[in-house]
Amino acid sequence: MFALIIAGEAIFLLPFILMRVFKPIIREAFVISDAQIGEAQALYGITAVLSYFFGGFIADKWEARKLLSLSLFLTAIGGFWMTMIPSIFTLKILYSFWGVSTILFFWASLIKATRQWGNENNQGLSFGLLDGGRGLFAASIALFGATILTYFFPDKGIEITFTNKVETLQYIIGTITVIVFLVAMLVWTVLPKQKVDIKTNKEFQFNFKQAFSLMKQKK
Domains of the chain: 2-193 (1.20.1250.20)
The whole model's pTM is what? 0.78
Secondary structure of residue 131 in the 3-state scheme: helix
Q: Which of 106, 95, 107 is nearest to 19 (CA)?
A: 95
CA distance 76 to 99: 13
Task: Answer whether residue 41 shows pLDDT above 90.
Answer: yes
Q: Which of 207, 192, 199 is nearest to 3 (CA)?
A: 192
Query: Taking residues 45-57, what's their average pLDDT?
Result: 90
Task: Answer whether residue 115 shows pLDDT above 90.
Answer: no
The pLDDT of residue 61 = 84
Query: Which of 62-71, 90-99, 190-199 has maximum average pLDDT?
Result: 90-99
Task: List the Cα angle 139/142/148 in 5-degree steps.
Answer: 145
The pLDDT of residue 158 = 46
Give CB contacts under 8 A, 24+ apart, made by 44-47: 44/15, 44/95, 44/96, 44/98, 44/99, 45/99, 46/96, 46/99, 47/96, 47/97, 47/99, 47/100, 47/103
Grade residue 175 by pLDDT with cuts at 50, 70 and 90: confident
Q: Tens of pLDDT along 177-213?
A: 999 999 999 999 988 777 655 554 455 566 778 878 8
Query: Which of 29-33, 156-160, 162-166 has maximum average pLDDT?
Result: 29-33
CA distance 163 to 145: 18
The pLDDT of residue 185 = 93
CA distance 12 to 10: 5
DSSP 162-207: HHHHHHHHHHHHHHHHHHHHHHHHHHHHHSPP-------SGGGS--
